[in-house]
Amino acid sequence: MLTLLPSLLPSIAAATLYAAATVHQGRCLYKRSVPDKRLLALFGVLALLAHGTALLTQLLGHVGLSLDFFNSASLIAFAVITITLVACLSIPVENLLVLLFPLGIVTTLLAQFMPSGTLQPIDEEPGILAHILLSLLAYGLFTIAAVQALLLLVQNHQLKNKHPLVLIKNFPPLQTMESLLFGFIWAGWGLLTLSLISGWLFLENLLAQHLAHKTLLGCLAWIVFAVLLWGRNRLGWRGHKAIRWTLAGFCLLMLAYFGSKLVREYILHI
């Protein structure tokens, strides 16, 4: 069954505004000019308002919270773009938006037009809802960190070959990019820690059949990021080693959340 019709117009509006922001930023980067930050912020905020309006209908359209696969992806994209826009007020991360706005387009339209999975709406106590919110915010921050790591990998490769792309030429220096990366990782790791603690406190059985793999993969991701942060502080890890550990932890988290949801809702239908 398709998502409720009241979310149709805001979903299309959000996708259109994200697209307009992407085109504006892409043209400026291609011309090697600086995008108008005010215009970029205006497009982004308006898109988020429309995106949030659509999400409210999609998430609360039934009794309880409807967090199926595509709604969850849309919610995480909303959180990621919001965090990045807020971060732009104090740190130079606006170039990340040229990749995140298209993510907003795709997830908004998929949440609107793809059929829902078999997951039943969530009608739980505040503690469990807090656990879910902490998990989604942690995934959001680690998504930004993963995008940042990929851009850092491309930037490092291009600078070594002395043929940087137009997009890369507009990025901050490598040292600044790495500092931003670890800032996102520290914040994401803190939220992931709170998410795991809240899970142990409020969920009856974290090792139940439908939660065991998610718990195990989430704990493994926590360990990977903990080792990465230790290596950064104690051993000065940076460059390719830091990028590999970041992407490894991110993949574990995505398998924990989206992998399990995809299998359960669209393959096993449970």
What are the tens digits of pLDDT across the range 120-147? 556 556 677 788 778 888 888 898 899 8
| pLDDT over threshold 90, residue 206 | no
Token couple for 98: 């040229």
160 compared with 236, residue with greater pLDDT: 236
The type of residue at 48 is L
Please, are residues 141 and 190 in contact by the beta-carbon 8 Å criterion? no
Instruction: Give the pLDDT band (50/70/90) at residue 5.
Output: low
H or E segment to which residue 170 belongs:
none
The model's pLDDT over 6-56, given as tens digits with 9 standing for 90+, comes to 788 999 999 999 999 999 988 887 777 778 888 999 999 999 999 999 998
Rounded distance between C-alpha atoms, residue 74 and residue 66, angstroms:
12
Token couple for 251: 């993949």
> For residue 256, which of 185, 192, 203 has the smallest C-alpha distance?
192
Rounded distance between C-alpha atoms, residue 262 and residue 104, angstroms:
19
> For residue 10, which of 65, 50, 48, 44 has the smallest C-alpha distance?
50
The type of residue at 20 is A
3-state secondary structure of 42: helix
In degrees, to the nearest 5, what angle opens at C-alpha 49 toward C-alphas 188 and 24?
A: 85
168 compared with 75, residue with greater pLDDT: 75
Lowest mean pLDDT among 97-106, 139-148, 159-168: 159-168
> For residue 70, which of 55, 56, 84 has the smallest C-alpha distance?
55
Q: What are φ and ψ of residue 65, in 5° steps?
A: -100, 120
5 compared with 81, residue with greater pLDDT: 81
Q: What's residue 2's pLDDT?
A: 46
> For residue 49, which of 97, 17, 2, 94 has the smallest C-alpha distance?
17
Lowest mean pLDDT among 35-44, 89-98, 155-164: 155-164
Q: What's residue 210's pLDDT?
A: 56
98 compared with 170, residue with greater pLDDT: 98
The predicted model gives 135-164 an average pLDDT of 81
